[in-house]
Amino acid sequence: MTTGSATLPAATRRSILLLSFATFASMAVQRICDAMLPELSRTFSVSLTQAAQVVSVFAVVYGLAQLVYGPLGDRFGKFGIVTFATLACSIGSVVAVLATSLDMLLLARVMVAMGAAAVIPLAMAWVGDTVAYELRQETLARIGLGTTLGLVSGLLVGGVVTDALGWRWAFVLTTVLFAGVGTLLWLDWRRQLAVAPAAVKPAGPRTPYLRQVGSILSGRWSRWVLIVIFIEGIAGFGVLAIWASHLHAVHSLSLTLSGAVVALFGLGGMGYMALARHLVRRFGERGLALLGGAVAGAGAMVLGLTPWWQLALPASLLSGFGFFGLHNTLQTNATQMAPAARGTAMSMFAAILFLGQSIGVLLAAGLSARIGSTAVVALGGAVLIVLGAVFAHGIGRRDDLQAAP
């Protein structure tokens, strides 16, 4: 089912557009509760820490569920799993709308997390199965555009809707979003079944899951990619979590303005996704890894070290642009770690990124208390610069690493 022509067929482009809608919804629902925590605390008469469980519990379930969906996608078909997981998220969102207690809302968030976890890694794996390698990075960028837009939208919409209409209406929106996107995915999945049922419903490998994992980890290139994504999770997404606190503490910006500056990181990522096709063809994988790491790291270092908060605006934007250039290159290479078990491989990729991010948040917070947030943000930027150079070097040796036992 791999497309090897210079352009993708219209039907494949439509499927990719629908998958980008699904990744948008999956990422938006992750972040939609962030801004509503004070309101949830008041509504249910609980502390802010207790209310924050709607974020932390979601994150834990989302991370653990990654490892389940990979084998399911390889066995039963990735597009179909994404379709039913998206529809399941709408059911969880309905439960959230009707929640009468924090415990009920937590149950709803667990339900949504279990569905949302399938969407992004299996969407990328489906692209790996369907799109020829020379077109894969720009195609993954289209999926990534939905993910990045969802990140920004979730942060903004959660706060705006909660202030204007109340927190339940935010979940009404996610219900409609998941139901609508899930229905469109189901119709497209049925079309794929009618056209090429064998390609849409693979028999899947009978290899036991642990043996698949061992096979992926035994490859030197696979290990290289997974180590790099783990470090990127720590130095990139992990340290990013303290950017707003750093700007608030060092430059005395309001939390609203600090959050808006950090949101520019996501907008920078959207800018990369929009230009990815041209950038991939201009710089290639090695060039994008090197350039992306350098721009992401330099932007982070400027944001951390500048005495003028105004410079944090372009620094955040450029850092996001560069970061997603590096990240998109990593995603593309991850799709080739284990072509015979691509769903499992991409789920491992996502889980390890998530683990790195979680560790990064803890490290950044702990180190900030010891050496200050200025040093931590700048150090995270320096690591990204080195990481981009190291991964670019690895791409140059990829053939040798893939051939090595």
| pLDDT per residue as tens digits for the range 279-295 | 988 998 899 999 999 99
* Count of domains observed in the chain: 2
Q: Looking at per-residue confidence, does 210 or 240 come out higher?
A: 240
Could you tell me the two tokens for 194? 């009618």
| pLDDT recorded at residue 330 | 92
183 and 211, same domain (yes or no): no
H/E stretch holding 136 reads helix 133-164
CA distance 125 to 325: 19
Among 158, 179, 204, identify where a domain stops: 204
Q: pTM of the predicted model, to two decimals?
A: 0.77
Among 204, 228, 244, identify where a domain stops: 204
260 and 384, same domain (yes or no): yes
CA distance 307 to 167: 37
90 and 217, same domain (yes or no): no
* Under 8 Å between Cβ of 360 and 234: yes
Q: Looking at per-residue confidence, does 17 or 144 come out higher?
A: 17
321 and 179, same domain (yes or no): no
333 and 261, same domain (yes or no): yes
* Under 8 Å between Cβ of 221 and 337: yes
Neighbours of 211 (CB within 10 A): 11
Could you tell me the two tokens for 48? 């802010």
Question: In degrees rounded to 5, what are phi and psi of residue 206?
Answer: -90, 0
| pLDDT recorded at residue 381 | 96
| pLDDT recorded at residue 5 | 44
278 and 362, same domain (yes or no): yes
| pLDDT recorded at residue 339 | 74
| pLDDT recorded at residue 218 | 75
**At 100, is the pLDDT very low, low, confident or very high (cuts 50, 70, 90)?**
very high
3-15: average pLDDT: 75
Distances (CA, A) of 289 to 69, 296, 299, 314: 28, 10, 15, 21
Residue 259 has pLDDT above 50, yes or no: yes
Question: In degrees rounded to 5, what are phi and psi of residue 5?
Answer: -80, 170
200-218: average pLDDT: 64
The owner of tokens 């996107």 is 181
199 and 211, same domain (yes or no): no
Lowest model confidence (mean pLDDT) among 142-156, 177-191, 298-312, 377-391: 142-156
Which class for 48: exposed (0-12), middle (13-18), buried (19 or more C-beta within 10 A)?
exposed
DSSP letter (8 states) at residue 404: -
Tally DSSP H helices, then E strands, for the chain: 18, 0
| Domain span holding position 49 | 1-204
| pLDDT recorded at residue 400 | 67
Q: Looking at per-residue confidence, does 362 or 94 come out higher?
A: 94
213 and 345, same domain (yes or no): yes
Could you tell me the two tokens for 310? 């105004």
198 and 241, same domain (yes or no): no
| pLDDT recorded at residue 8 | 79
CATH number at residue 161: 1.20.1250.20
| pLDDT recorded at residue 197 | 61
234 and 127, same domain (yes or no): no
Residue 132 has pLDDT above 60, yes or no: yes
375-391: average pLDDT: 95
* Under 8 Å between Cβ of 237 and 380: no
Percent of the chain past pLDDT 90, that is, above it, reads 39
261-274: average pLDDT: 85
Which range in 27-31, 138-142, 166-170 is most confidently predicted, on average pLDDT? 166-170
Q: What is the pLDDT of residues 339-372, one digit of tens each?
A: 777 777 888 888 888 788 778 877 887 888 889 8
105-127: average pLDDT: 92
Residue 219 has pLDDT above 80, yes or no: no
Q: What is the pLDDT of residues 145-201, one digit of tens each?
A: 888 888 778 867 877 788 788 889 999 999 999 999 999 999 999 998 888 665 555
Q: What is the pLDDT of residues 33-47, one digit of tens each?
A: 876 777 888 899 888
**At 311, is the pLDDT very low, low, confident or very high (cuts 50, 70, 90)?**
very high
Among 204, 222, 240, identify where a domain stops: 204
179 and 226, same domain (yes or no): no
186 and 331, same domain (yes or no): no
| pLDDT recorded at residue 304 | 94
Q: By C-alpha distance, which of 213, 236, 247, 192 is closest to 14?
A: 192
